Structure 1
Amino acid sequence: MVKNKKYLILAMLFFFISIALNFPFPHEYPRGQEKSVALGFPINTMNGVSYIGISGLVLFIISLFFLGKSLKIYHKRMILIAIVLVVFLPLEMINAYQKTFATGIYAVEYERGESFYRFEMKDDTTLYAVCHLPFENHSNQTVQFNVEFYEKYLFEDDYPILSLMNEGEPYEVTLLGKERQMVRIETEIDLSKLGRDSLSAEGWGINLMIVDGEKVRKL
């Protein structure tokens, strides 16, 4: 079945490097992006295209080329399996790790798509804000952490909304072992101190960080 072992090894090498560059743990963004920021490399083009994403895709295509060249038969079948693996393997690896070896905040899963927020004025200067955040602790141990909010994408004329929640921090969350909880966080913010007029907003998909001492996960 194997025609060229060197090509097969190269295929596996490029395959796993492509996964490592785009591995979404412990943060929501790829692992390669975190390393690029730390080393001072640019991660996006001026048009917002990710260098990390492009690099990972190129390496994956190269791995498919070497995979095809390394086999005598079943070329198309194995390439199809590789494509399926690159899509699902990282998520399954994260899921398996969180349910077995992970501890502390690394065992916490945040379902961002199910989170939502609502901001409305209580009076002329006071903003009432409430967020609903779904968390699940996959470990057997109780986990405690603080929640902080951030803006993922902010255009020139936009005003930061979610980060206003940080005016009322700290927000401490406690999850018992194997507990799944929809955490409700609410606060009142004096907009007059921030030089803001009235404000109202609601939406889904909240960007946040969970913090435990020096440990931080950006989700």
Structure 2
Amino acid sequence: MLNIPVQTDDGLQFVGVVSLILLITGLFLLAKSLEKYHGRIVLIAIIISIFAPSMIAGSYQRTFATGIYAVSYDRGLSNCGFDMINERTLHGECELTFDNYSRNDVGFTVEFYENKNDYPMVSLLNNNAPYEVKLKANARKHVKIESNIDVSNTENHIDNGSARNVDIIIKSGEKSRKL
């Protein structure tokens, strides 16, 4: 709700719940304190609370961020495809798109993850992970990751399929981002 993370795969987020309560309380008090145009101003405040955080984060990433924090992942352009090569080997191929807004080259590793309710597919690529990616300064790059995965010891594995909007984790040293 309103881009405030109240619940994630790990459970309820205390900071998100408190932020949502503070936002609703603030909007209520704003509406009560104004005598004229309170409906319009509350609507403008809601619109600002929806769009401002992502705009501020994007601006920070494009101007001040360094390292993996300056890397943007275009989830909408990402896709993965899987096909069985033989009885024991699954071939996986993913195309991921990254933007580096930093003035410096950035190197990181990529790992894949699935939400709790998803059938394990892209996470099978982690059998041969991590995958190294290097981005030039201020550049956009389409990265192709290919892997042959031994599924002989995996129960109920997929035979073929595809996935879009792939969830990934990028890491550089001790720093990590879930995208």
Report TM bin, short chain. Answer: 0.7 to 0.9
- Contact 1:125/1:198 (<8 A) preserved: no
Structure 2 Cα separation of the partners of residues 152 and 198 of structure 1: 17
The structure with the greater share of residues assigned to helix is 1
1:95 aligns with 2:55: no
What's the counterpart of residue 134 of structure 2?
174
Higher deviation after alignment, 70-79 or 52-61: 52-61
What's the counterpart of residue 61 of structure 1?
24
Aligned residues between the structures: 178
Which ranges of structure 2 fall in alignment gaps of 5 or more residues?
A: none
- Contact 2:121/2:158 (<8 A) preserved: no
1:126 aligns with 2:86: no
Counterparts in 2 of 1:145-164, with a 5 A limit? Answer: 145-154=108-117, 158=119, 160-164=120-124
Q: Residue by residue, what CA displacement relative to the aligned partner does 1:158-184 show, whole Å, maximum 9, x if unpaired?
A: 4x2111101111200011111111111
Runs of 4+ in 1 over 6 A off after TM superposition: none
- Contact 1:109/1:136 (<8 A) preserved: yes
Structure 2 Cα separation of the partners of residues 75 and 194 of structure 1: 60
Q: Residue by residue, what CA displacement relative to the aligned partner does 1:126-162 show, whole Å, maximum 9, x if unpaired?
A: 111001111111111111000011111336xx4x211
Mark the CA change 1:171 to 1:56 in structure 2 (over 3 Å): closer, same or farther. same
1:85 aligns with 2:48: yes
- What letter corresponds to residue 86 of structure 1 in structure 2? S
| Identical-pair percentage | 42
1:205 aligns with 2:168: no
- Contact 1:119/1:129 (<8 A) preserved: yes
What's the counterpart of residue 70 of structure 2?
107
3-state SS of paired residue (1:152): coil
- Contact 1:134/1:180 (<8 A) preserved: yes
- Structure-1-length-normalised TM-score: 0.73
3-state SS of paired residue (2:152): helix
Which ranges of structure 1 fall in alignment gaps of 5 or more residues?
A: 1-17, 23-29, 44-49
1:192 aligns with 2:155: no
The structure with the greater share of residues assigned to strand is 2
Across the aligned residues of Structure 1 and Structure 2, the Cα RMSD in angstroms comes to 2.5
Higher deviation after alignment, 71-80 or 118-127: 71-80
Structure 2 Cα separation of the partners of residues 56 and 113 of structure 1: 28
